[in-house]
Structure 1
């Protein structure tokens, strides 16, 4: 994403937090950024589109930080604690913005935002599941979804206390204690030979088998549409990216490189954000 778009996003989020999304006009955002209203529309086609880009921007920031942690030479348990800490800290940083959305119920109901939130919800399920299997191994496979959803529920409870009640936690200790709760649950399943309520079959009904493949097809279609109207060098970048997306085992390093080229181009921020979120790059 180009610097000017980031500049607008960072100023807009402060206005939304202070004044509210509905009450903040595009003209006020432009004034705050020291640009014309027309210049705003060169970067974002509407205020709703700006809000969607804010979601992509901050989800990407968290993803980058968790990717850095994943690359470190740490035990899975310590990695998960650090990843949870990053997520808590980013949410705390933008507490006022989140309160604004809760207060106003400000998220506009449109297809793009609905799909983004659905995709992030499913990604969150898989984030917990993957990290729990990394920590405890395949021995929890039968009940991993139950532990996943319980741990997410604990996370959301702490978030409510932080956001709504403004409780100040020692975040590192909080994350360590969360994982201890997971230890108790895992040991309970093993010791009592309990059967999970939340099964693989149940989650397959919630997350359709073709959900991610459909998302990928939509992203490829969007790229193909943009390719036709793009300059030659951008067409070449898209061609390389499209070739990579159809590979049986896409090379994330190549995808990341092509996306870096595209995210500086006007009109590509949303699709770049979608692909980054899909491939975690």
Structure 2
């Protein structure tokens, strides 16, 4: 996206938060940006189209920051809490804009908005799943989806306090709190033998197959990166596993055997857990 379009988006966010989406005209946006109304339409087909790009801009900015943390040399627990903190901060920074959306119910119902919201929702499901597997590994295999949904509910509870009540919370602390709550929930499943209601099979009926294809792509990239850093028997294990999961018809027995080897290395237990859950091994 060009700099002028980004400038229009950023200025429109301020106007929408101040005046509301419905009450803000294209002419006012153009005036605020120092451009003509005609120039506005060179960048955006309509005000509704602009609103969709506002959502995209906000979401992609937050996603970039989260991805930057993912590439840092941090342990899985620290990555997750930092990513939660960033999400809390980004939402709080745009509180007035979000309140405007809620009060006005300003989101126009159309296929583009609907697709965007689905994309964001499915990405959130998979984000929690991946991070929990990275932290707990095989121990959370069967319950990962249920634990992730419970944590999303806790997260939303804090968000409601921040957005609706304007609560002043320590984002770093509540992010750590959420992970501690996850510890208790995971331990509960381990100690009681309780079976989750939300299973992999259930979620397969919710999330389209192409989103799982993206999950496989991420695992392949992670294996390839680990392979180039490893040596000896570990490198052989990673190479065989990587070759196997890229086949048209991967052999579950071969994958399972390589995962058993991989799980002997503590730093790769999370990745092994992701692969086990993906193939339901």
Q: How far is 1:186 from its partner?
A: 0.2
- When normalised by structure 2's length, the TM-score is 0.75
Instruction: Name the counterpart of 2:82.
Output: 82
Deviation at 1:211, TM superposition (A): 5.6
User: Once the 2 structures are TM-superposed, how far is the Cα of residue 201 of structure 1 from its aligned partner?
Assistant: 1.2
Partner of 1:49: 49
Q: Deviations over 1:177-201 (max 9, x none)?
A: 0100000000000000000011111
1:225-258 Cα offsets, whole Å, 9 max, x none, are xxxxxxxxxxxxxxxxxxxxxxx89xxxxxxxxx
1:131 counterpart = 2:125:
no
Give the TM-score normalised by the residue count of structure 1.
0.75
Cα distance, 1:212 vs structure 2: 6.5
1:77-127 residue CA offsets vs partner (Å, 9 max, x unmatched): 000000000100000000000000000111000100100000110000000
- State how many pairs are aligned: 216
Structure 1 unaligned residues grouped into runs of 5+: 215-247, 250-281
RMSD: 1.6
Runs of 4+ in 1 over 4 A off after TM superposition: 210-214
Q: Does residue 1:166 correspond to 2:173, yes or no?
A: no
Deviation at residue 209 of structure 1 after TM alignment: 2.3
- Alignment of 1:8 with 2:32, yes or no, is no
After TM superposition, give the deviation of residue 71 of structure 1 in Å.
Answer: 1.1
1:200 matched residue in structure 2: 200
Which residue is 1:18 aligned to? 18
CA distance in 1, matches of 2:160, 2:136: 28
Q: How does 1:102-181 map onto structure 2 within 5 Å?
A: 102-181=102-181
Output the CA distance in 2 between the equivalents of 1:196 and 1:105: 35
Alpha-carbon deviation of 1:138?
2.0
How far did 1:67 drift? 1.2
Alignment of 1:30-69 (within 5 A): 30-69=30-69
Q: Structure 2 vs 1, CA of residues 210 and 82 (structure 1 numbering), >3 Å: closer, same or farther?
A: closer
Match of 2:66, SS state, is helix
Question: How far has the Cα of 1:68 moved from its partner?
Answer: 1.0
2:276 aligns with: none
Shift in Å at residue 208 of structure 1?
Answer: 2.6
Aligned equivalents of 1:21, 1:194: Cα separation in 2? 47
| Aligned residue number for residue 254 of structure 1 | none
Aligned pair in 2 of structure 1 residues 206, 44: CA closer, same or farther (>3 Å)? Answer: same
- SS state at 2:196 partner: coil
